[in-house]
Structure 1
Amino acid sequence: MKKIFGIILLVAVFVLSACGSSSEEGNSGGDSGDSLKIVAAHNQTDPENPYQKGLLAFKDSVEEKSDGNIEVEVHAGTIGTSETELVEKLQTGAADVVLVSPGFMTSSGINQVDLFAFPYLFESYEHWEKTVQGEVGDKMAQIINEESNNDFRMLGYWTAGVRHYYGDEPLQKMSDLEGKKIRTQTSGVVANFWEETGAVPSSVAWGELYQALQQDVVDAAENAYPYFVQQDHHQTPNGKYITETGHDYTTRFLMISGETYDNLTDKQKEIIDKASEASVEAEWEELHAQEEEYKQKAIDDGAEVNQIDRQPFIDLAKPIQDKVAEDIGVTELLKKIREIGDSVEE
């Protein structure tokens, strides 16, 4: 009996020792890493949307580089079609990674991000890319993290394309906007700009906009080709005429909960960071391809596209930019963005 008991004790010690070794290896952030699930979400419901392509690239990269130890669950409008909802879910821990626009980030009290919502802030994609990938982008990421008390940490800058006007008639000059009910933001710098053009900013939920255009609730709206054409807005009487105002080279923030990020091992952080870079590349590529594709689809479906002299709009926007930049404390950042634009033109 003593001999048998001794053998059992030896086996038990061996098993416990092996388990302890395995646990220590997992917590050290080694190649295998701890098992982890990340919930990533955006507000668009169309599976062909560039947002979905970008988050799927994030998912594929994370799961491949972690050997499946980190699972990413992607939600396309299923845990919130409002960006305000997504910000709240990030704050409460119901989501770990979300995609939101500057306008909705201001609802969390970080007013400086409204800089990226300024109409006619950027003159081209090159101007935009040099801004978000350089000193200005780094500074904004720092502001977001500090002002949110680490609730939000920037993972990367995405774009939602170039926004244009579409409505019940083509615009030939700015005065054509007088009295037009346009679906856009109803507060902040975006609303200020459209009010100055003579239009009337109106609030309509994205999911209800097709019906609103169909039933004259609004006369017009503004967005980028992939977004409004995928929703068939161009096939409504009040969405048929597209004027390429090019008023916004859009910025979107891919963010992770600061608490979630801080609790990752060094190895897991490296995996998330690399996956974020992959998602940026995939989303940009998909968006640029879809802008051309969906513009052509709109034309093929009978929509009419026209150009307009943008200079009067640009001239209108600049003093609005100056005033709001001073109000929210980003005058120096605005100056740097304009300097980047000048260098791109040269």
Structure 2
Amino acid sequence: MFNNKKILIVMMLLSVITLLAACSGDSETSDAENGDGETSGETIELKYAEVNPEGHPMTDAAEKFAEIVNEKSDGRISINVYPAGQLGNETENMEGLQMGSIDFMRANPSVIANFGIEKMNVLSLPFIFEGREHLWNVLDSDIGDELKEDINSSDTGFQTVMFVEEGARNFFFTDKVVKTPADMEGIKVRVQENELMVDLVEALGASPTPVSYSELYSALQTGIVEGAENPPAAYLANAFYEVADKLTLNQHVFAPNFILTSSNTWDELSEADQELLFEAGKETESFVKEIAQIADDEALAELEENGVEITEIDDPQAWQDAVQPLYEKHGAGYEELIERIIETE
């Protein structure tokens, strides 16, 4: 009889412990998922993909964003940056965002357009932005807000956290000095897998050749392509100048980049953490504005020291005239947006 009573007491104690544990678990879940800005206090680890290597301004921006988020969350949210294409190329990273295997990445407008938001091609139209100041004036206006909303309200699985930029894109070549569009005739130029960029290179008389960014160095080295295009800092950081040392400063595209997060990741965050990321994004944008021009200047100086032949163009209008048909083809239906961008001061 005594043994039966002991067993009964033990069973009752176990039931109480189990109930308390369940209540505790429910409380933590509720705190993490409610919409009033409360968080559970649990540690969150996130992945940030970047195709450029360490030392590139866009990798610096990624690491700055991670640093700010870590500080603002008192170490509760950590973002691990994977540079140099460790998590794949841009298209693979976009697919990773959709699946939720990657949490953040930097995407240029042409890649986003490939995922169904064709309006983004407008931002990659050649010479639509006059320079860095004009670009940021547009991004900081209601146009920038609308572009973010276009992505956020789509069914692509992406959310926009902030804008960044890495300078104007310029052509570089293995053997030929190029000063005018006529000099581009017949040159095999690497392009992103995007119709607008293919049309741009064709409009200049060159032969567009799609090559993965991670394979570009070897493609230049082996002659698969004879030229490509990049902002100065990317041209330097990826050491493309070692195999293609003739740079033409024509600044044909000066497009912003979007820092995207996975909708899967975003939806799992509390409102407070979402706001924290937005605040960190704004601070990172300010950081990018401070370093972008410096990065351009330092990259060009270092490239010159490394023997790169840098060519300034004499007739910008000739380049602009050559690519004007792209506005008719890729700007069709977005004439109002194009006009608003051009008129922004």
Structure 1 length as normaliser, TM-score? 0.86
The reply on whether 1:40 has 2:37 as its aligned counterpart is no
Pick closer, same or farther for the CA change 1:135–1:319 going to 2, 3 Å: farther
Q: Secondary structure of the residue that 1:74 maps to in structure 2? A: strand
**Quick one: which of 219, 237, 246 aligns to 1:241?**
246
Residue in 2 aligned with 1:202?
209
Once residues 223 and 123 of structure 2 are traced to their aligned partners in structure 1, the CA distance between those partners, rounded to angstroms, is 31
Once residues 161 and 23 of structure 2 are traced to their aligned partners in structure 1, the CA distance between those partners, rounded to angstroms, is 37
Alpha-carbon displacement from aligned partner over 1:292-311 (angstroms, at most 9, x marks no partner): 11111111111111211211
Alpha-carbon displacement from aligned partner over 1:253-300 (angstroms, at most 9, x marks no partner): 101122322332121112111111122223343332221111111111
Kindly indicate whether the alpha-carbon contact (under 8 Å) linking 2:111 and 2:194 is maintained by their aligned counterparts in 1. no
The reply on whether 1:56 has 2:69 as its aligned counterpart is no
Residue in 2 aligned with 1:142?
149
Residue in 2 aligned with 1:272?
277
Runs of at least 5 residues in structure 1 that lack an aligned partner in the other structure: none
Pick closer, same or farther for the CA change 1:26–1:139 going to 2, 3 Å: closer
Residue in 2 aligned with 1:65?
72
Kindly indicate whether the alpha-carbon contact (under 8 Å) linking 1:53 and 1:282 is maintained by their aligned counterparts in 2. no
The reply on whether 1:98 has 2:98 as its aligned counterpart is no
Once residues 200 and 147 of structure 2 are traced to their aligned partners in structure 1, the CA distance between those partners, rounded to angstroms, is 23
Alpha-carbon RMSD: 2.7
Residue identity in the other structure for 2:327: Q
Residue in 2 aligned with 1:131?
138
CA drift at 1:174: 1.7
Pick closer, same or farther for the CA change 1:169–1:151 going to 2, 3 Å: same
Kindly indicate whether the alpha-carbon contact (under 8 Å) linking 1:185 and 1:201 is maintained by their aligned counterparts in 2. no
Identity %: 26
Q: Secondary structure of the residue that 1:242 maps to in structure 2? A: strand
Matches within 5 A, 1:7-46: 19=24, 29-30=37-38, 33-44=41-52, 46=53
**Quick one: which of 294, 300, 309 aligns to 2:305?**
300
Once residues 23 and 80 of structure 1 are traced to their aligned partners in structure 2, the CA distance between those partners, rounded to angstroms, is 31
Kindly indicate whether the alpha-carbon contact (under 8 Å) linking 2:185 and 2:206 is maintained by their aligned counterparts in 1. yes
Runs of at least 5 residues in structure 2 that lack an aligned partner in the other structure: 1-8
Once residues 79 and 117 of structure 2 are traced to their aligned partners in structure 1, the CA distance between those partners, rounded to angstroms, is 28
How many residues are aligned here? 330
Residue in 2 aligned with 1:193?
200
Q: Secondary structure of the residue that 2:331 maps to in structure 1? A: helix
Structure 2 length as normaliser, TM-score? 0.86
Once residues 267 and 205 of structure 2 are traced to their aligned partners in structure 1, the CA distance between those partners, rounded to angstroms, is 47
**Quick one: which of 111, 116, 140 aligns to 2:123?**
116
